[in-house]
Structure 1
Amino acid sequence: MEETSRPHLVVLTGAGISAESGIQTFRAADGLWADHPIEEVATPEAWARDPERVLRFYDARRDQVRRARPNAAHKALAQLEREGFRVSIITQNIDDLHERAGSRQVVHLHGEILKARSSVDERMRYPLPRGGIALGDVCDKGSQLRPDVVWFGEAVPRFDDALELVAEADLLLVVGTSLAVMPAASLLDEAPLATPRVLVDPEASELTTAGVNGLALPAGEGVPLLTRHWRREGRLWLPETVFG
């Protein structure tokens, strides 16, 4: 079957899916973000003011990501793709857990922590298979390297790619996000009107809006539950046993 003729599942994932692998969210009451106000480590102004502090913070986050492992939700999405479904993932997360689980079509809206990039040319990116970034580490143009992440106040360079994917979705699955971070939250409204929308989140009953089917389960339970139905039937649908 032609790639473009297969039903297209587009998945928007947020911090909740990574939290189940042990990666702290910036809204958590504990963890790496607790003692680091956003304006001191995750803005262009913070970088200009104290780049060494910013680098230390992201080195710690990078270590956390390397220790984490894909959970059942990551694995279920990758398995769906391996069995012939067309699956595209748009993630707000900067970890590589989707890729390590086996997903091949992943758009990182907010960058990738396991890469560095030039401070003067965002097209110049460098993988970080080990270690971190130190002051004095420079790109090929001689500029200081910085984390390849999108800080608060910066543009989201791959947002147009995400818009294109959502516009062709046959089913839009949202996992582990409060839909509070813009512009990612606006993607929910960009799918075709007839496209089913499903939100998997423990607080889905409070977060869902009109036209969105909520499944109030953690990602590691809700996503495998849905993908089992889809794999068994060989199609994308809203099973009555789950949604009534």
Structure 2
Amino acid sequence: MTAETTIPDAAVAAVRDAEWVTVFTGAGMSAESGISTFRDADTGLWERFDPADLATPQAWARDPALVWGWYQWRARLVRDAEPNAGHHALADLASDRTVGVVTQNVDDLHERAGSHVVSHLHGSLFAPRCSNCGTPYHGVDADPDRAVEELRVEPPACPVCLSPVRPGVVWFGEALPEREWTRAESAVAGSDLMIVVGTSGIVYPAAALPERAVGRGVPVIEVNPEPSALSSTVTHRIAAPAAVGLPALLRAVRGA
């Protein structure tokens, strides 16, 4: 454990006693892998666009190729990134207890680190589907180099109804996928410890999940370098980034 990272003894005890841990992660979980948070300014081709203006059904209806190109660019960034020490610490924690991840992130870094992801609450960059019939699309969705060099990339056609394939993410104004929400609720309801990592705690209904755990008397540990909207609610707080705080917590739990 580094001298700068304080791990509360009670948090260590809570992890040691837990048999079923639900981990709830936000953008800060992936930031140290080089994945910018959604609201960070984009660069290069995309610096003049507001991400909030592209992540809407209205933007898709107006210019599908522009929206598809932006999401392909984001997917390219994720493909080039690697899971950080925080991702690996969570996967290691599952070696002697049940650990399920509920994430607001649309990347696949948890999976690549070896964690079991129970729910992608806001969808995934790697789960495109038909914009009309909803059929999952498993084809080659686009040339990743084009997504870096061109603003507009025409989306592929659905093999079932020939409609454009859309990104598999939840846009502003859309409801969370019912199946993913139900899975997240079940994971939180069954766990005896919750670890919240790198989330602002301001996006609902997702932010209600840690609040539910606290309401049930389940310990909730927050790992975040800055206070969040959940900081006054959680049981224990580790003031550190994911790639520092989670390995430090794991070492303390293992007595290293």
Instruction: Give the TM bin, normalised by the shorter chain.
Output: 0.7 to 0.9
Q: In the aligned structure 1, how far is the partner of 2:86 from the partner of 2:64?
A: 35
Higher strand share: 1
Structure 2 residue 155 is the aligned partner of structure 1 residue 143: no
Q: Secondary structure at the match of 2:90?
A: helix
Please point out which of 182, 185, 198 is paired with 1:160: 182
Q: Secondary structure at the match of 1:111?
A: coil
Question: With CA pairs under 8 Å and 6+ residues apart, which has the higher RCO, 1 or 2?
Answer: 2
Provide structure 2 residue ranges, at least 5 long, that are not aligned to the other structure.
1-17, 145-152
Total equivalences in the alignment: 227
* 1:242 match: none
* 1:215 match: 238
* 1:60 match: 73
**CA 21–211 in structure 1, closer or farther in 2 if over 3 Å, else same:** closer
**Percent of paired sites with the same residue:** 44
Q: Secondary structure at the match of 2:37?
A: coil
Q: Secondary structure at the match of 2:167?
A: strand
Q: Secondary structure at the match of 2:88?
A: helix
TM-score, normalised via structure 2 length: 0.81
Contact preservation (8 Å) 1:92, 1:108: yes
Q: In the aligned structure 1, how far is the partner of 2:31 from the partner of 2:226?
A: 14
CA RMSD of aligned residues (A): 2.3
Please point out which of 104, 109, 119 is paired with 1:97: 109
**CA 78–134 in structure 1, closer or farther in 2 if over 3 Å, else same:** same
- Map 1:1-244 onto structure 2 (within 5 A): 7-31=19-43, 35-81=48-94, 83-126=95-138, 131=143, 134-157=154-177, 158-191=180-213, 193-204=216-227, 208-232=231-255
CA displacement 1:39-96 (0-9 Å, x = unmatched): 4310001100111110111111011000000000000111111x22100000000100
Contact preservation (8 Å) 2:222, 2:234: no
Q: In the aligned structure 2, how far is the partner of 1:169 from the partner of 1:38?
A: 35
Q: In the aligned structure 2, how far is the partner of 1:42 from the partner of 1:206?
A: 24
Q: In the aligned structure 1, how far is the partner of 2:183 from the partner of 2:117?
A: 12
Instruction: Measure how far apart 1:200 and its partner are.
Output: 0.4
Q: Secondary structure at the match of 1:172?
A: strand
CA displacement 1:186-209 (0-9 Å, x = unmatched): 111222522101110000377501
Q: Secondary structure at the match of 1:54?
A: helix
Q: In the aligned structure 2, how far is the partner of 1:224 from the partner of 1:34?
A: 34
Instruction: Measure how far apart 1:125 and its partner are.
Output: 3.9
**CA 115–210 in structure 1, closer or farther in 2 if over 3 Å, else same:** closer
Contact preservation (8 Å) 2:200, 2:229: no
**CA 29–39 in structure 1, closer or farther in 2 if over 3 Å, else same:** closer
